[in-house]
Amino acid sequence: MAAAAMSEGEAGKALWNAAKAGNVEEATRLLEAGAPVSWADQRFRWSPFAIAALSERLPLMRLLLEHGADLEAKDQSGQTALIMSAANGKADVTALLLEHGADLEAKDQYGQTALKAAVVSASVATMALLLEHGADLEAKDQSGQTALIMSAANGKADVTALLLEHGADLEAKDQSGQTALIMSAANGKADVTALLLEHGADLEAKDQSGQTALIMSAANGKADVTALLLEHGADLEAKDQDGRGVASVCWGARCRELLGGAERLQRWHRRRSLVVWCA
């Protein structure tokens, strides 16, 4: 007795499983029998192509593309295969997708592109591929963050360095007015803060509440970053929109010690400048 023919849903699920397992022979058989290449699971809305990409099944990905798989199909969170591969740091998968013309600027439901996803996963190799293919450095997500602002928040110096090498805008601001420097300072990321300063980041840039990088680092008790900003001449007299300066928000004994030393040094410089001027 002949086996009952599969329904479209059953054939799609079988293809999905074959794609996940990397079973090219079975996937080929199913596709030739008419299995729907665009079928997606109910939980995540992943197609056979998406699960093949997530599972790094490159031969399966090529096979599915030959049979019309949609490069730009999105899952329930709005992610394409390229965004997913970037988020998981899969450089070989990313390379294949780019070879086939995947949209670099597609965004998920949070406004995140593949480049931003690669920054979050700290995958330098994947980032390099995307940048070589022309990914937009200044694309912003729903919170207004660029790739550089996100890398500064995460404190990944190698990621930040790569973005700066490609010309990322140091003074771009998110929706709250925070620059990459303010973000790294607020989160106590000393290595990234130093890197941003070396590239000329504006020490006195302010967010929407008038806070500078120094005010933020002091308020959050980030002593190492506070010391670094003071060494670079951050303004001790800067105030936010409520009139609060560094001294009034400074948190922790180490922070207060640093500010005291900086104030004494600045007073000495002012007196010396006055003496030179009067002479």
- Confidence grade of residue 96 (pLDDT, cut at 50, 70, 90): very high
- Confidence grade of residue 42 (pLDDT, cut at 50, 70, 90): confident
Burial tier of 7 (Cβ tally within 10 Å: 0-12, 13-18, 19+):
exposed
- The alpha carbons of the chain give a radius of gyration, in whole angstroms, of 26
- Confidence grade of residue 259 (pLDDT, cut at 50, 70, 90): confident
**Global pTM?**
0.88
Q: Residue 255 has what pLDDT?
A: 76
**List of domains in the chain:** 46-66+79-136 (1.25.40.20), 140-273 (1.25.40.20)
Residue 222 Ramachandran class (φ > 0 left, ψ -120 to 50 alpha, else beta): beta
Tokens at 145, concatenated: 């963050």
Query: What is residue 243's DSSP assignment?
Result: S
In angstroms, the first-to-last Cα distance of the chain is 111
Least reliable range by pLDDT among 23-27, 54-58, 206-210, 231-235: 231-235
Task: Please give the full DSSP string across 4-67, using - where no structure is assigned.
Answer: PPPPHHHHHHHHHHHHHHT-HHHHHHHHHTT--TT---TTT---HHHHHHHTT-HHHHHHHHHT
Please tell me the distance from the alpha carbon of residue 6 to that of residue 35, in angstroms, as a whole number: 9
The helix (run of H) or strand (run of E) holding residue 218 is: helix 213-219
- Confidence grade of residue 274 (pLDDT, cut at 50, 70, 90): very low
Q: Residue 4 has what pLDDT?
A: 57
**Whether the Cβ atoms of residue 152 and residue 118 lie closer than 8 Å to each other:** no
Residue 140 scores a pLDDT above 50: yes
Average pLDDT over all residues of the chain: 91
**Whether the Cβ atoms of residue 234 and residue 203 lie closer than 8 Å to each other:** yes
Please tell me the distance from the alpha carbon of residue 233 to that of residue 231, in angstroms, as a whole number: 5
Please write the tens of the pLDDT for every residue from 182-194: 999 999 999 999 9
Q: In sequence order, which residues have a C-beta less than 8 Å from that of residue 247 and are 6 or more positions away?
A: 236, 259
